[in-house]
Amino acid sequence: MSNNLFDLTGKVALITGAVHGLGMAMAKGLGNAGATIVVNNNSEDMLHEAVAEYKALGLKAFGYVFDVTDEKAVIENIAKIEKEVGVIDILVNNAGIIKRTPLAEMEVVDFNAVIQVDLVAPFIVSKHVVKGMIERRSGKIINICSMMSELGRDSVGAYAAAKGGLKMLTRNMATEWAKFNIQTNGIGPGYFATSQTAPIRVDGHPFNDFIIGRTPAGRWGDPSDLQGTAVFLSSKASDFVNGQVVYVDGGILATIGKPSNEI
């Protein structure tokens, strides 16, 4: 098998919300595989900082300020990207939010906000990017799902509802667009070491101990652990992979109990 299967040279990849964390890690992986990186964010300052970080690594990167839930803005900016950078070959629907509130206490407006960003926005962006992919009979779409696409957890009901819906949206996108040589798949990250999880990733913290004990790999994921899967699902290597969600979770979803320490 040739490494050319994973070469993204000449491809343009739009990764929504990739200004930090896991989105940025995946974008760096695509850039290192040869893709030109396009990222968006609502904050111009964060966007400029992220693009500067990509460029400092020698990656070709561009940034656009727009809201992924605003269909008019999405249409306008996709047109700008395709005019100024190139046609979009790879779309990673990464932008997302979470609101940790028990369902019985959650305001409808907050529930709707999570659904809009985490589920409706991937539909909006994909709907308008895929039109060019259909014309070219080629494209890769990756929806960033979650372990909450499969499992429930206290206080994240809106997020789990959105990510469960995103799993099924991924399958339906694959169903409708596979005939145009477009592959639509998902990535479901497990628990990763990011700036947001830093306060609870300390020895003795109950949640840190729980995650390490619950994960067969015995550790938190490093953001770089997502890069290989992102490159695979963006490349020719996955041309007959469609409608799947690849869980990059260290094995959590594979087991029901705490791994044994016995050999």
Residue positions annotated with a catalytic role = 159
Interatomic CA distance for residues 130 and 141, integer angstroms: 8
H or E element in which residue 143 lies: strand 139-144
Interstrand relation of 90-93 and 245-248 (parallel, antiparallel or unpaired):
unpaired
Coil vs helix vs strand at 207: helix
Count of C-beta atoms within a 10 Å radius of residue 101: 16
Hey, what amino acid is at 26? M
Strands of 139-144's sheet, edge to edge?
61-65, 36-41, 12-16, 90-93, 139-144, 182-189, 245-248
Distance between CA atoms of residues 92 and 99, nearest Å: 22
CA-nearest of 83, 90, 70, 71 to 29 is 90
- N-to-C CA span, the chain: 35
139-157 residues labelled b (16+ CB within 10 A) or e (exposed): bbbbbbbbbbbbeeeeebb
Nearest to 14 by CA among 152, 173, 163, 124: 124
User: Are 38 and 61 a contacting pair, CB within 8 Å?
Assistant: yes
